[in-house]
Amino acid sequence: MQLRASALLVSCLLTTQVHASDGLDAQPISWLLEQVELGEAQQKPQLVIDSLARLEQVEPGSLDIRAAWIRYYFEQGEVEKAVEELKAFKKEEPFYPYIQRLDSIAYIHSPEGKEKLQAIRLLARAGQYKEAAKQFKALFRSEIPTARFKFEYANMLSADPDSWQRAKKLFTKLTQRYPNTAEFEVAYARHILKRKPTDRKSLAILRKYATHSQMRIEVERVWLNALEDMPISTFTRSQYSYFFSLYPNSDLGKLQYDVFSEKLVAQLKLEADPNYQAWQRGKRHMANENYALAEKLLRKAAAGRPQDADIVGDLGRALMAQGKHTDAQQYFRKAASLADSSDKSIWLGLLNTSKFWGLIAQARTAIDALELTEAETLLASALKLNEDTNTVLIYSSQIAKAKGNTQQAIKYLQTVLRNDPNNSYALSLLLGIVEEQQSIASLERFESSLTKKQRQAVAAEINAAKTSIYREQADDLSSRGEPEAAIALLEKAIKTSPTNGWLYYDLAFEWRKLGDIDASKKVYNQALWRFPMNPEIRYTHALYMRSLGDYRAGLQSLSYIRVKDYTPQIKELKETLALGEQFEQVDLLIETEQKASALALLQEIENQNELSNLQNAQIAAQWHKLGMHNRATKQLRTALDSTPKLDFYWYQLYSEWLLNSDDTVALDNWFANLHMAPASTQSEKREIENLKVRYQVKKQPEREELILTSYLSNNPSSIPANSRLLQFALNKGEFEQVDLLYENAHKYGELEFETEYQVAQKALFSNKHTLGEKVVRHLVYRLAADENYNQRRLMALLLDFNDESNALRYKKDLLALSPADAELLNLAGQVADKFGQSDLAIEYYRQVLTSQNLDTTDKKILHELTQDKETDTWYMRSARSGIAKIQNRTDGHLAIAGDFSGQTSTQNDHELGLGAALFEGYFPFMDGQLFAKADAVSISAQQTNFTERFSASRYGTGALCYDTCSLFSITPRDQGIALGFGWQNENWRVDIGTTPQGFLISNIVGGLLYQNSLGDFSYDIEVERRALTNSVLSYAGLEDVNQNDIWGGVTSNGLTLGLYHDLGLEWGFWATLDYQYYEGQNVLDNDRKRAMTGAYYRFIQQPDFELSVGTNLLYWGYKHNLSEETYGHGGYYSPQKYMGVSVPVTVDGRFQDDLVYRLKVNGGYSRTTTDAIDFYPNNPELQAIAELKAIETGIDPVFAADKSSGFSWGIEGLVEYRIQPQWLIGASFNIDRADFYEPNYGQIYVKYLFNPMYGELPLVPRLIVPYANY
């Protein structure tokens, strides 16, 4: 403690001025700690003491300071004090992070530790550096605790050549951690210069410390060793100059330099020799593996210096590297004879190696030629040379495999791997044997049997093997009509080999086969996002885009490939795509009638490119499109007459051109030699026959049918002639003749599939079921398993069959061809459903949706299958719809609702209040549903005061009895029960019923609705008679207080046409046209014409949420304005012209499957025109009386004309919640506001379902519709 106090006092005296001016912590604590460690490394105890003293001033009580003092005591030999301090320290601070280091230092200073350390140092002095370093490292319990010990360990490693890199790493860390430590830096330089005597950094370190008092002698020794190891060159001479500038009196340096100078003179003389120069250049080419050029140079050198063993031997090595083993052996023998005794063994060893590889090369040739006995003899000779046993075993395995003894081949390779576990060639051969099993499982077992390094060695080959098997299996699945399974397999393969471009190519094509081009493009979008620069993926992507005709996209993809990655195939594809894009531009110019530009561009293509025979033919086709028929015909004929020969397509095209031309000479000449066209397939041969038939017809086109008949009589086996005559008969509807020609054709062969399909299609459409079903039967039996598209077309025709047994049998036969084709299964479901096999239809639909074998009699499972998913394809949606339709035929419900509505007209003070209890039931019946509805309705209107002139004049004939009416006031009310009955299915709805029984006036109402689809559109037609619920007058009728007569109870009778387009995608539209005729008791007859249309766009479309915005346009007009409630009016809004536009915004959502909702807001603008009309429009006598009394009453008996415009808004909300699978509750409200019109509406309901509903509720709630609003 006295030492520490003294140190602190001295430090305070020395630093008083600093502290006074800057404060105690002016020097960072971390810097002072570094100074402590630097002092320890450089063995400067005073630096350690001063730094620790300053630290105690700045941070008294620091644990790091206490640890540093303990290290100091050990270093200074005060072991007892250090041990005592360490013991106390450990007791007080047992969790100090560097306790283990202090323990290691304490152990080294213990008697046992000193003894072990001394023994290790003796090992190092004895030259056993590797063992010494090993024991030194083990001496410490964890890491080496101090810089000095680390330095000692680095020196041990440096002395061991095998540990050179580890020593370099440790020296580097020491010099970085303890900069300007002379001993560390010189040791680093010495270590580096052993391997690289010309290292500039190390030589600079030597210059730095050449004048260092303690390191001068060591630096001289290291520097001279490095100079001695440097090559004999002028550079080395310059380095001697540096040395003598700092060591001018070095006697050892002068002696060494004299020897060097003599060698330099000899070396410079040698380097001037052209033969020597050729040798040096030859060696450089050998280093770069350019052996042919090296051989040439070495032969030149050997010719000039034939007695130089090194040159002669190097020539032998160049020859051996090229496989010229016999020549190589000659030069190795000569080199051995010329070499000193010390080098002779080198050339003799290479002679033996060359003999070995010469025998191996001969054995390999014999194996390739299947001369296996000769190969075995050669390998036996090679084995005796004791060069490379593993190579002999590898080729022995190939012989065994060639003999069919696979197990022996495997044993040979396993022996190789026991000798050399990471022999990549043996691993590859073993993998090849496993790969022949064509089993992913076998490959995975093989892979799992390998060590980590072995797997790394053949990882790429294993992935390639798996990829190859996956591709073959996927291709097999696709050919069997199982594209979904092929897709799943390819996606699995991509996980194994994510950079294999051909897997993405196959996957894209599988999606394309399913008709999903977007999904096929998505395959490459994802791949290129992950691997944007992968040349193989880019190449296959460009190929795929070419198949789609998108040349620009293909070129764009290739542009991402780096120039160094270009292959001949990539270059060729790029040229093809560029030419294709230019042809596309020509086509576009032709389509847009820019003929001059098209001609110029095509001429430019022809002039700028060195064209192949095929490209010349393609250009000829472009000339023909431009109307340059003579040029095109001439150019194509030249291409056809040139080599290489073109495909049959071009012969067919040339024939077509001639048939459409007037060049009869060329036509006759060509068709006289048409048999020479390269028709190899049956369809091509049939096309030749077809062209001949057309040639005959062209001569007398006006007599085509007669010529064909004559031609067929002379050539009864001519299928083309038969086919053309059949088309004549088919177009005329002569099905008997069609049948005769069909049977005749089948005596000699097959008609084209498309021709027979048209016969079947038209026959079935024309109710010629015998012929149609016969042709379908034949087509079913001629189809192959891979003709999926035609299988689907025939399955669709079965829906038009009359014969149930035939339809079901052919359905089964078609499914046998492609049992996993989802589109075919979907159509099979429709066929089964049409012919009453609902359970089988559901099973087919289930197979479309899932491969799991589910129990479709379970209502919950069945319902889940009807729930749409975001990833559904069109045929999956169709299958779900098919299940839902079958379900609906056995479905039904009971419901009760409370309905509330009211409206106010601020223009004429009319009010309406309507409440109803709604009851309905839907019951399965005859592939549809019977329904019954009963609505208990209560209705009321505003009070009319007959003592008030305006009010009285607006009710019945109140204007005639004003002041004398029998009542002072009246508040119209009525109630009754409306009944409705009907039946509906997918296409039809028919109903009949009454307006509420109990009303003043009751009417019979009903309607007939038909709905269907046509392509992407749906439509409906409805004929109906319905009640008008606008007012008490229009719905229930009123009683006149003056005449005791009733009027009202208006019905609309008319026709409505609707057209709709909504595929469930982003947008849709609708349009309706209708005409209605209005009649009521004692009400003037009226009519209305109306047209409405609208469109909407779904800005957000998710499975559980949709947001759409639309625009609606409306127009309607009534013949008469009967909006009022005087006698003869109808009490319903009836302007003569109404035009409006509205913008609805709709949100539909679903929450946790059981709750769905809709919120809709809209704003609109409208303009109306209303004509003037009498108070009593259908009673001239009453009107005349009213006009006479006008002077007396002051009531003008005419409702004035009016024009108005204004804005409106509305809000609607619906919600439906599933309490239990069979119970639903719901509610809705609707508020509209416009000038003079303020209706409100609300409903609550409860619904009980016959079939439980599981899974998600349909997105839009389904309210209970009052029968009056059907």
**Cβ neighbours, 10 Å, residue 574:** 18
- Tens of pLDDT, residues 159-196: 888 888 888 898 888 888 888 888 889 889 998 898 89
Give me the pLDDT at residue 440, please: 79
- Tens of pLDDT, residues 239-283: 888 888 888 888 888 888 888 888 888 778 777 788 888 888 888
Strand partners, 749: none
- Tens of pLDDT, residues 45-54: 777 677 776 7
Domains of the chain, residue spans: 498-600, 610-678, 820-884, 893-1269
Percentage of the chain lying above the pLDDT 70 cut: 92
Confidence at 305, pLDDT banded by 50, 70, 90: confident
> Of 406 and 1087, which is predicted with more confidence?
1087
Give me the pLDDT at residue 827, please: 92
Query: How many angstroms from the chain centroid is the CA of residue 99?
Result: 57
- Tens of pLDDT, residues 335-345: 888 888 878 88
- Tell me which H or E stretch contains 413: helix 406-419
- Indicate if the pLDDT at residue 22 is higher than 60: no
- Tens of pLDDT, residues 497-546: 888 888 999 899 888 888 788 888 899 999 999 898 899 999 999 999 98
Specify whether the CB–CB gap between 478 and 490 falls below 8 A: no
Strand partners, 1230: 1212, 1241
> Of 621 and 41, which is predicted with more confidence?
621
Read off φ and ψ for residue 117, nearest 5 degrees.
-65, -40
- Indicate if the pLDDT at residue 676 is higher than 80: no
Alpha-carbon span 369 to 707, nearest angstrom: 63
- Indicate if the pLDDT at residue 1254 is higher than 80: no
Alpha-carbon span 585 to 1053, nearest angstrom: 59
Alpha-carbon span 447 to 809, nearest angstrom: 49
- Indicate if the pLDDT at residue 26 is higher than 60: no
Distances (CA, A) of 1 to 7, 70, 885: 10, 12, 99
Backbone conformation region of residue 1128, classed left if phi is above 0, alpha if psi is from -120 to 50, else beta: left
Read off φ and ψ for residue 1192, nearest 5 degrees.
-75, -45
Read off φ and ψ for residue 273, nearest 5 degrees.
-75, 125
Let me know how many helices (H) and strands (E) the chain has, helices first.
54, 21
Of 288-292, 732-736, 1251-1255, the least confident: 1251-1255
Cβ neighbours for 621, distance < 8 A, ≥ 6 positions apart? 632, 636, 653
- Tens of pLDDT, residues 752-772: 888 899 999 999 988 899 999
Give me the pLDDT at residue 25, please: 45
Closest CA to 621 of 611, 607, 631, 609: 631
Confidence at 748, pLDDT banded by 50, 70, 90: confident
Specify whether the CB–CB gap between 935 and 1266 falls below 8 A: yes
- Tens of pLDDT, residues 1029-1070: 988 999 999 999 888 899 999 999 999 999 999 877 788 999
Closest CA to 1101 of 1147, 1152, 1151, 1157: 1147
Alpha-carbon span 677 to 637, nearest angstrom: 12
Radius of gyration of the chain (CA): 51
**Cβ neighbours, 10 Å, residue 496:** 18
SS3 label, residue 575: helix
- Tens of pLDDT, residues 818-851: 888 888 999 999 999 888 888 888 888 878 877 5
Q: What is the dihedral of CA 673, 679, 684, 687, to 10 degrees?
A: 0
Q: What is the dihedral of CA 990, 991, 992, 998, to 10 degrees?
A: -170
Closest CA to 799 of 882, 730, 741: 882
Cβ neighbours for 1251, distance < 8 A, ≥ 6 positions apart? 859, 863, 887, 890, 891, 892, 1222
Give me the pLDDT at residue 2, please: 41
Alpha-carbon span 834 to 804, nearest angstrom: 9
Query: How many angstroms from the chain centroid is the CA of residue 699?
Result: 56
DSSP one-letter code for 1031:
S
- Tens of pLDDT, residues 620-669: 888 888 888 888 888 888 888 887 788 888 888 888 888 888 888 888 88
Give me the pLDDT at residue 13, please: 31
Specify whether the CB–CB gap between 323 and 365 falls below 8 A: no
Alpha-carbon span 124 to 121, nearest angstrom: 5
Q: What is the dihedral of CA 654, 656, 658, 661, to 10 degrees?
A: -140
- Tens of pLDDT, residues 971-1013: 899 999 999 999 998 889 999 999 999 999 999 999 999 998 8
Topology, domain 893-1269: Porin (2.40.160)
Alpha-carbon span 464 to 477, nearest angstrom: 20
Give me the pLDDT at residue 931, please: 95
Between helix 309-321 and helix 341-368 the angle, nearest 10°, is: 20
Confidence at 932, pLDDT banded by 50, 70, 90: very high
Topology, domain 498-600: 1.25.40
> Of 46 and 809, which is predicted with more confidence?
809
Longest dimension (CA), the chain: 154
